Amino acid sequence: MPSSPTPSPTPEPSGVRRRSLLGAAAAAPVLASLAGAGSASAAPAASAASATAGPAGGPRALPGGGDLGPNVIVFDPSTANIQGRLDEIFKQQESAQFGTGRYALLFKPGTYSGLNAQLGFYTSIAGLGLSPDDTTINGDVTVDAGWFDGNATQNFWRSAENLALVPVSGTNRWAVSQAAPFRRMHVRGGLNLAPDGYGWASGGYIADSRIDGTVGPYSQQQWYTRDSSVGGWLNAVWNMVFSGVEGAPAQSFPEPPYTTLETTPVSREKPFLYLDGDEYRVFLPEKRTDARGVSWGNGTPRGTSLPLAQFYVAGPDDSAATLNQALEEGLHLLLTPGIYHLDRTVEVNRAGTVVLGLGYATLIPDNGVTALKVADVDGVRLAGFLVDAGPVNSATLVEVGPEGASADHSANPTTVQDVFVRIGGAGPGKATTSLVVNSRHTIVDHTWVWRADHGDGVGWETNRADYGVVVNGDDVLITGLFVEHFNKYDVQWNGERGRTVFFQNEKAYDAPDQAAIQNGSIKGYAAYKVGDDVTEHEGWGLGSYCYYNVNPSIVQHHGFAAPNRSGVRFHGLLVVSLGGNGQYECVINDTGSPTSGTDTVPSKVVQYP
């Protein structure tokens, strides 16, 4: 990418992405420049609920509400040395890609000036108002890539929510890749999605946000924006997808590669913590159909809220038995930052249950169990946590609905939002299938399901994981689907009337040879496979990449496989070989041109069939 501080508005594609090679960047190093130290007050305790009645009318054995723990840092406009405390946490988390630190930085409503909140790994920043405009930072919330020599392709696991920003330079920098949501944000200026120096980047996701100025993705290879408003959009590299976005560029795939839907078929924004006076509550936004623009544009958002007294405020020392007891007693779960080891499955059996994580709370199944299961009930909301596979193989990591689930949840679906899955990287991990969706009408809104290609415990069999996402339920919608590096199908979709808006994929880098990926008579497993018996399915803006760096001679027949029938439709498909390390013969089934040699240029199919 250009190293000039004034790049072309339509730069060349960002080049081959080698996440595992430190220093293999396209631009000069960019070093973080701010320093300082300080502290801030911990969250106040919410007193209420130890005497609240359980579902059977008797007292609960476990209390609701309580302190949010040491890693939830709460600021108000009078807090001293906020910048110092932000810098202290950033210094710790900047390059701690597989570390154990987890932080939520929460800002009470009000106005803050002169801040630059740089975000490292496992750090979430959020306002505590009911609207983003209740909490204004005259300053920046910054993600850059100085720690990785200007390469932003590993800027994972961080988030910004529910704030208004007035950037110092007029433009806020948010150079992220996967698992880094930007939700309910109001940027009173522009948004730059590239690192300083315009090195590689591979994100990302924006939802329910208003950017008054122009969004400049520059070197971002792909991006998905949902139910938002933008003042303009500068360029595209491989795959830019918009649904329900005011100001989005017009549909133009394949060139430029914009896939634009006027509305999002169904959406329901992520639950969030806020302050009502001195009381913490969790807001539950209502479902929207054919949504367009932000949910909070006319003042108070539409939905309901729950007092913190109705949540069991969990900490990383809590056992799975304690979490299940809280759920059985009718409490919701608020997972404060930290790493939770589970020796049994957390079971969500009650309709309307909320499981909300703060600061990338991480669940690890230690002995091959499934980390979390949801019953076939209405309106469960899972949001804001990471599931990290343990060293003993789990058959599944997250199950939404039991096998054979068939109840109609169209009026009140289960939502899975910013729930991320990792197999390997932080250490050995194995899982046959990561996320299984059995319940009808489930909405999965932004997930990154990742079999690690770098870090510890990584190898073709070391962190074996055959399937990323398996959808068996009918009428499931996924908006913002990122799934990478699985040994077999990254996505296998067996349910009827499924819909995906935006898909990003890389096939596993580390296949040793052609035989290791052979799928019967087919060369390689598709990244996205629709079951042979499915009669209705639709997808918009889907991309798959290969980078077989262990054996560049490997050939992948296609990125996508689906029944060839009129009810199964795709719009805006692409495959690309990164630097010629492996090749695709087709895009979908036997349709689409092969990738071409060492040129990192996508092969595209506009419509299928």
| Residues carrying an active site annotation | 506
HSE (CB half, 13 Å, CA atoms) of 426?
A: 22
**Are 239 and 222 in contact, with CB atoms under 8 Å apart?**
yes
**Are 15 and 237 in contact, with CB atoms under 8 Å apart?**
no
**Are 452 and 484 in contact, with CB atoms under 8 Å apart?**
no
Q: What is the spatial distance between Cα 380 and Cα 349, in angstroms, rounded to a whole number?
A: 9
Residue 567, number of CB atoms within 10 A of its CB: 12
310 phi/psi in degrees, rounded to 5:
-95, 5
Q: Which residues contact 406 (CB under 8 A, 6 or more apart)?
A: 376, 440
**Are 205 and 215 in contact, with CB atoms under 8 Å apart?**
no
**Are 497 and 473 in contact, with CB atoms under 8 Å apart?**
no
Q: What is the spatial distance between Cα 85 and Cα 40, in angstroms, rounded to a whole number?
A: 7
Pair type for strands 568-577 and 603-608: antiparallel
Q: For the chain, how are helix, strand and coil distributed in percent, rounded to 5?
A: 5, 40, 55
| Cα–Cα separations (whole angstroms), residue 109 to 118, 134, 136, 557 | 20, 5, 8, 54
**Coil, helix or strand at residue 145:** coil
Q: Is the dihedral of CA 292, 296, 297, 299 positive or negative?
A: positive
**Are 477 and 456 in contact, with CB atoms under 8 Å apart?**
no
Q: What is the spatial distance between Cα 503 and Cα 570, in angstroms, rounded to a whole number?
A: 12
CA 486 to mean position of chain CA atoms: 17
Q: What is the spatial distance between Cα 2 and Cα 24, in angstroms, rounded to a whole number?
A: 15
Q: What is the spatial distance between Cα 170 and Cα 188, in angstroms, rounded to a whole number?
A: 8
